[in-house]
Amino acid sequence: MRYFLELAYKGTHYHGWQRQPNGLSVQEVLETALATVLRQPIAIVGSGRTDAGVHATQQFAHLDLDTPLPEHLLRSLNSLIPHDIAVYDCFPVRPDDHARFSAMYRYYQYHISRRKNPFQEGMSYVFTLPLNVEAMNEAAAIFLNHTDFESFSKVKTDVKTFNCRIDRASWEQKPNGDLVFHIQANRFLHGMVRALVGTLLDVGQGKRSVADVERIILVRDRKQAGRAAPAAGLFLTEVGYDFPKTE
């Protein structure tokens, strides 16, 4: 039987989602706790990989079991994992439903604080320089007209295509002046959102024009885009699927 886990985490103290040899990952913490509760080795597959320091308010992972889930699984699991990871739900799905490949879209938010805020430490990017938010939104709208985002992907990445369908890309300005970048797509490349944000911040400062953004997309060269914005401000906010929960 295949099950989906719905979870969230604060990524500050983790080397990203995916298990790796040189640092603690969210995946490793969850697999260790699941193995303790279920009394067998457990491997989980996430809906996507988040980098070190990146957060998730909604993430999904799947696992396969030959035995029924124990009662009070969520309570047992949440009592074992650290306070900065939470598992909200575990539910059965169809055998071919896949946390990564069945996802229809991913929605990210990037949070920028316009002044130092001790209560947002590690949860936003503090950026106090003047910004032209209107120009940043004009530039962000250009993303919806393109599909090849090689210029915003990390250079050493193992992908077959750099094509992504972006359905939403816009900046929201809060009453206190803080900014949130909203972006939704069917898939994202490694480091893509942070590179997009860094480039848009250059536009907001007048270092690049709106027209430069389209040129950067077309040239397909990561060196032409802006630097990656810090990981702290990035949140995986929603992952969408087209199948219902099964009973």
Active-site annotation holder among 51, 89, 96, 242:
51
- Active-site residue 51, yes or no? yes
Residues 90 and 124: their CA atoms lie apart, in Å, by 29
Residues assigned a catalytic role: 51
